[in-house]
Structures are given as structure tokens and as C-alpha cells.
Amino acid sequence: MKFLHTADWHVGKTLKGRSRLDEQRAVIGQIVGYAREHQIDAVLIAGDLYDSSAPTADAQQLVVQALLALRDTGAKVLAIAGNHDSAATFDAYRPLLDAVDITLVGRVRPAARGGVVSFDARSTGERVNVAVLPFLSQRYAVRAAQLVASTPSEMSRDYDAMVREVIDSLAAGFTPDAVSVMMAHLTVVGGTFGGGERAAQSIFEYHVPAVAFPAHAHYVALGHLHRRQTLPAPAPVVYSGAPFAVDFGEQDNTSVVCLVQASPSTPATITDLPITAGRRLRTVHGTAAEIVGRAEEFGDDFLRVIIREPARAGLREEITDVLPNALEVRIDTEFALSITNQAARTDHRDRSPAELFGDFCAARGVADERVQSLFERLHDELTSTGRE
């Protein structure tokens, strides 16, 4: 049987105030196209469908349309809540989506009560068991008293033990002569962050090792870390990664969806299908003139611009007037630091207001004579004896 593994859609994500719904719609459309092209038996979405636990109506509409479009390809659709999703909302909508053969799981469930989802693959008739483990935060896995009284190493050990117990319980729901898959949203030790994860919910102290997953599973479909990677373990333990760069920390990631083929008697094979629909994120360095001169090179990429010259009035506008997709414009930290350090060494005693203001600007990397002139004019107006 064949299934697609994807995760970390983060629908509703904005970047520096820019909506990315059109991008996300195109990316998901490409995933739907792969499901149709390869006649997929199931689509597994391993959490973080949304970027927020309170998504906008437009974001919710896009996700619902995506789930229905995937269902319309003939595939069984299963999705679990990630740390960005609302587990309670997923479970509230579960009965409604069950009616159209789409399975949402918000909270951890026992195997016999929805923790293992079983179905027959449409293409082969093979039995498939998918154990589902939504995001399980440490505050639910480790009792509050332990969080207060335990050391970090003790809490890590307790979290590991609790999650292993859940995994073992779910794996007990696997049946012989079936394709056995586990889908989870969590941090696995040794995994590499993709760059855009929420650090407070990905901290290293709360993780499980890859060997915690059952060796007899044909495949372990993971979400949470945004970089495509396979971790060493007896079973294939795989992060599909995010299908588009969530922020500039992910600009060098390769976006894919995983096509997995398996049978009850053969190990899984994995093929990465490229996702090309999202806009490229790029960080560019140089003087304002150098970067503006490269405008044609950047196309419709979203840009983070690092300026290697002193700050001055109108600098940002000079960039954004030519490059409207420059979402962030800032001074190179090393360059700004050298100015700040130089200003810090200045003796401020017995200096005029204009000189002190000059020091203030220098300490912040602002070197613009027009700003200094404006300050002096305003100061003269405010201190003039003729002012009413």
C-alpha cells in the first residue's frame, strides 16, 4: 500500500505581517496533486496543521478544503494535533469529519478507543493499523508536583518513561499480517531543528529516543521538527519536515512530502516528492546600493536584508521602494556593534545637548546629518526665549 506523510503545514502563518495563505494553498494543492497522481491509499498529517490554536476563519476554511480535497482523491485521511493546534477543537470536530471519512485526533487515546485507526488499503486490500500520538506536553506527561520538585534530568527521565508507556500501549493495538504505522508529533533525541519551531515546546529536556518506537513498526511518521530527516532506529523513524519555509531560519531547508510504500511482509521504501510551490526566503547582505542593484535577481522572493553601512533616515524606504518583498531590513550586527563600542568610549561629561544626541545616535548606529540638524532645530525652537 502507498501513503503520503506530511506535517507542519502551519496554515495561517504570517511573515512580518504578510499573509501566506495563497502560498499555503498552492503548497497543499501540490500535495493533493501527488495523492491523486500516485493513487495514494492514505495521507498522514503529523500535526501542526495550523500555526495558531485559534486560527482565523480563512485558515480554517483552507484546512477543511484541503482535507476534503485529499479525501476526494480516494485516500484515507488521518491528522493529529501538534503543539500549535487546539487539541480540544480537533476532538470537537472529530465526529463531524468522521462522517466524511476524515479522522482527526486531538488528544492521546487508548488503542481501543481511537488511539489505533485501522482500515483496508483501497489498492491492495491490505490491513493497515495507524497508531496516533498527538502532541503530549510535559505538563500532562509529568505531574505538576514533579515539575516543581524534580531536577531537569529527573523530569526528562519521567517524560521519556511516560511517553514510552503510551507508545507501548498503542503498539499493543497492532495486529499481525497488517502494515503497522505510528504517527506522532514530538521531539526525538538526535533530531535537527528546522529553524522555525517554537523553542519553548521543543526543548531538549523533553524528548524520547528513536528506539522508543516499536521495532516491528513498518514506519514512524513524525511531525514537529521542520527539517526532513531519518533518525537511526530499528524501524524507519522519519520527519517529513515542513512543506514550505515557515520563516527565514528555514530558508535552506528542502521541502518535500514523503511517499511511503509498504506491505505486511516487506519493509517500507521512502521517496521524497519535492514541494516547489512556496515562495523562496532569502537573506541578503551588502550596502543599500549593492542590494538595490541586484533587484532583478530576487524576483518575488521574500527577503531579509542585512545592511552593511550606518543607519540613516530613509534607509529602509530606499530598500523597500525598489524591493517591496524585503520584509526585514536591519543593520549588520557586527557593523552596528563597532559603532556602539566606539560611542560607548566617548566621555559624555560637559557636552552640549546636540553633542549628547549625536552620541545617542552613534550608539544606535544612526549616522545621518539630517537627523542631527532636525534635533538642533527643534532644540533651538524649544529653548528660544521668544517661544510662547
Is residue 161 domain-shared with residue 181, that is, in the same domain? yes
Strand partners, 283: 304
In a domain, 110, yes or no: yes
Residues 264 and 343 in one domain: no
Residue 222: domain span:
2-274
Task: Of 60-74, 168-182, 205-219, give the lowest mean pLDDT range.
Answer: 205-219
184 in any annotated domain: yes
Main-chain phi, psi angles of 307, to 5 degrees? -90, 130
Confidence class for position 147, pLDDT limits 50, 70, 90: very low
Query: How many structural domains comprise the chain?
Result: 2
The Cα–Cα gap between 47 and 83 comes to 8
> What are the pLDDT digits (tens) for 359-377?
777 666 676 677 777 777 7
Chain mean pLDDT for the chain: 87
Contacts of residue 164, Cβ cutoff 8 Å, sequence gap at least 6:
208, 212
Name the pTM for this structure: 0.82
> What is the C-alpha radius of gyration for the chain, rounded to an integer number of angstroms?
26
Query: Cell triple for residue 362?
Result: 552613534
Mean pLDDT of 27-54: 97
Residue with cell 516543581: 148
User: Do 221 and 322 have their domain in common?
Assistant: no
Where among 226, 242, 274 does a domain terminate? 274
The whole-number pLDDT of residue 139 equals 63
Domain boundary among 242, 274, 306: 274
Judge if 146 and 173 occupy the same domain. Answer: yes
User: Span 80-89, mean pLDDT?
Assistant: 95
| Among the listed residues 155, 135, 160, 134, the one whose alpha carbon sits nearest the alpha carbon of residue 212 | 160
Instruction: Give a yes or no: residue 352 inside a domain.
Output: yes
Residue 388 lies in a domain: no
Q: Is residue 193 part of a domain?
A: yes
- H/E stretch holding 147: helix 144-149
* Grid coordinates given for 60: 480554517
207 lies in some domain: yes
* 264 and 304 inside one domain: no
d(Cα 349, Cα 364) in Å, to the nearest integer? 19
Q: What is the pLDDT of residue 363?
A: 67
pLDDT band at 346; cut points 50, 70, 90: low
DSSP string, 264-333: TTEEEEEEEEE---SPPEEEEEE-HHHHHTTHHHHTT-EEEEEE-S-B-TTHHHHHHTT-TTEEEEEE-H
Q: Are residues 264 and 287 in the same domain?
A: no
Convert the pLDDT of each residue in 293-327 to its tens digit.
Answer: 999 999 999 999 999 988 777 888 999 999 999 99
Q: Which of 274, 300, 317 is the last residue of a domain?
A: 274
CA distance 322 to 284: 14
Q: Burial code of 145-173, b = ≥16 C-beta within 10 A, e = fewer?
A: eeeeeeeeeebbebbbebbeebbebbbeb
Q: Average of pLDDT values for 25-46?
A: 98
Looking at the fold, whether 174 and 257 belong to one and the same domain comes out as yes
User: Are residues 311 and 249 part of one domain?
Assistant: no
pLDDT at 145: 47
Do 73 and 204 belong together in one domain?
Answer: yes
Q: Which tens digit of pLDDT belongs to each residue from 176-234?
A: 999 999 999 999 988 888 776 665 445 545 688 999 999 999 999 999 999 999 999 99
Q: 250 with 141, same domain? A: yes
